[in-house]
Amino acid sequence: MAPRKKAAKKAAEPKIKGVINGAGEVVEQPIISAVRDNFMPYAMSVILSRAIPEIDGFKPSHRKLLYTMYKMGLLSGSRTKSANIVGATMKLNPHGDAAIYDTMVRLSKGYEALLHPYVDSKGNFGKFYSRDMAWAASRYTEAKLAPICAELFRDIDKDTVDMVDNYDNTMKEPSLLPTGFPSVLVNSNMGIAVGMASNICSFNLKEICETTAAVIRDPDHDVKTTLPAPDFIGGCQIIYDEKAIDQVYETGRGSIRLRAKYEYDKSANCIDILAIPATTNCEVIIERIIELVKQGKIREISDIRDETGLDGLKITIDLKRGVDPDKLMAKLFKLTTLEDSFACNFNILIGGVPMVLGVKALLEEWIAFRIECVKRRTYFERQKKADKLHLLRGLEKILLDIDKAIRIIRETDEEIEVVPNLMIGFGIDKIQAEFVAEIKLRHLNREYILKRTQDIEDLEKEIAELDDILRSKARIKTIIVRELKAIGEKYGESRRSLIIYEDTVSYDDEADAVPDYACTLFFTKEGYFKKITPQSLRMSGAHKLKEGDEITQEIEFSNNCDLLFFTDKAQVYKAKANDFSDTKTSVLGDYVAAKLGMDEGENAVYMVATKDYKGIMVFAFENGKAAKVPLEAYSTKTNRRKLTGAYSDKSPLSGVLFIEEDTELLFKASSGRMLLVHTGALALKSTRSTQGVAVMKLKKGHRLFSIEKYSEGSFAKPQRYRTRSLPALGALPSNDDKSDEQLSII
């Protein structure tokens, strides 16, 4: 072995560092080997055996639960206590009863999370659209398999799938279920593994069966013609965006916009919300609407309550007199999760390998899986018939001379010699001889034997037919298509989610609802904010401020602009100017940290006002580095109030500035040195949390403590502070530049 390899191997071996009394030896172990040996097996186990569904549409926990119920005979008959099912499932699933029962609840009819639930439940199983509606304990509820599960387990006893040992090698369980339809796309499924996740939306069963059959007949079939969009259990509306649908269908990733369904009750002057997106729940919607009313953004609502009952979901919103319900709902769609997006991530385990597939590719994988299942089933049936034919042919030979068979048996001295003597006497093998020897005496008549042997010709034809099927992939596909059609007709239901198109969707323009007028925005060193109209500002006197506080920013803008408050914890909080009330100079104003609900100990240090998010943010850090980030990096499509990672937290922030275009900035160090830098020399970074580039060289013990906009004429000789390359040390101020009056903040 080469010396380098020997050294590497020796370094990787654990080293004994000492001994602790009562604890044993202290061993030094390299971090790389510790992660590889301990974390990697865990990560792979979560990916392959926990969180990611397989081609049959189930995670291992789902499959173990349903197979247990199948073996308990719950596909037919009456329900049994859920606690019985949970206990029996522990033989296959080495988890606690709570985790198993949670899995069962989410598959149940009562929970209403699946288009086609697999568990026929009785009792309180909660609701997926309610965060607070908890399900009853397993000792109170009952369950059995839903009728559609017959299609999941059909032919499972005919060697259609591999059977593997359970965790303690005492039982066998299926590695996959031989589903007769693409259940992976029929019911929604979500899982979070280590480093990857899966989020599959649901599709209508009838449409999926029709589409799968069409893809089998024609590999070039356009799935959108038979599968226009997903279908969700809640019955919410789908806002059809052709580009988004195409992306999901082709790549398996993308976002589908969902919208709540509502009705207006004119007699009671209220709006009844009857269906909500599958990504939210009642409590989140109600809490958000109450928050909007308290903030004054929604003034048309007098009351809101949850009236969910036996008839299903219902959120009632009482309106004030003269309110247009459609305009109010358009505003609520924009401000709440009554309109939300379902993020698709079709990550499936195919042969133990995670793969993100589009709809058509996923159907093709399922078709290949189903073809293999049908082949194995056909071969199993063929072998059974061949075995029966083999026995009947042995029986047929007995027909030639029944008396001879009786004589051989009578004249044999020992029982153990009966089978060998029959084999010799009639030229049959051991299996056939065993079968003949077991025939009862009452059946040794010609009529019985003729009835048994007359099936030989039929069996030969059936075996020939099965052999033909095994040789023909086209015939196997025909069988699958026929089964899909039968399943679609038997279990298919009408589409629940209505498809609405982008051009028919209306939104309330929030800017039109809020009056826009000129105002002056003030921000203080202690984090107080004031919004004052020009008229009020002209009539007011000096600003009222806390002792030691001072105004650091004064911006003339309008009431409908966005405000960005950068904090000392590398975060930015977004608000609207109209979120703040008009005030006067004689009041302290709003304390921004409390108004925007900042974290404990967090303070706002800089404010930016914008409408179009054009411009540049410059961040300077105590280590002498500076970062230039476009303001549009802080623009979001959703109404997010807080963004983390607003700037780098690797070094304390010494200053932040907003500039509309590249300009010259003055950097000051604690050593007294100053440096003039044109921001054009700094590269624009798209990542908000960038550490930037080194701008100012700092002597030991010193730091960069501020940046300012440079005003032409502030220095007698500005060239003294400029440099051709960065980073630079800067220069100490000359005698002409030492006056504080010559330096100003613009």
Q: Catalytic residue numbers?
A: 140
C-alpha atoms less than 13 angstroms from C-alpha of 526 in its C-beta half-sphere: 13
CA 278 to CA 234: how far, in whole Å?
Answer: 7
Long-range CB contacts (within 8 A, 24+) of 558-561: 558/516, 558/517, 558/518, 558/519, 558/611, 559/514, 559/515, 559/516, 559/517, 559/518, 559/519, 559/531, 560/511, 560/514, 560/516, 560/611, 561/609, 561/610, 561/611
Q: What is the DSSP letter of 108?
A: B
Q: Concatenate the DSSP letters of all residues of 309-365 into one string.
A: BTTB--EEEEE-TT--HHHHHHHHHHHSTTEEEEEEE-EEEETTEEEE--HHHHHHH
C-alpha atoms less than 13 angstroms from C-alpha of 221 in its C-beta half-sphere: 20
Q: Are 691 and 627 in contact (CB under 8 A)?
A: yes
Prior bond of 727 cis (ω within 30°): yes
Which helix (H) or strand (E) segment is 254 a member of? Answer: strand 253-259
For β-strands 261-265 and 353-356, DSSP reports them as unpaired
Torsion-angle region of 396 (φ positive above 0: left; ψ -120 to 50: alpha; else: beta) = alpha
What lies within 8 Å, CB to CB, of 573 at 6+ separation is 564, 565, 567, 592, 596, 598, 604, 641, 642, 643
Tokens of 384: 């059974």
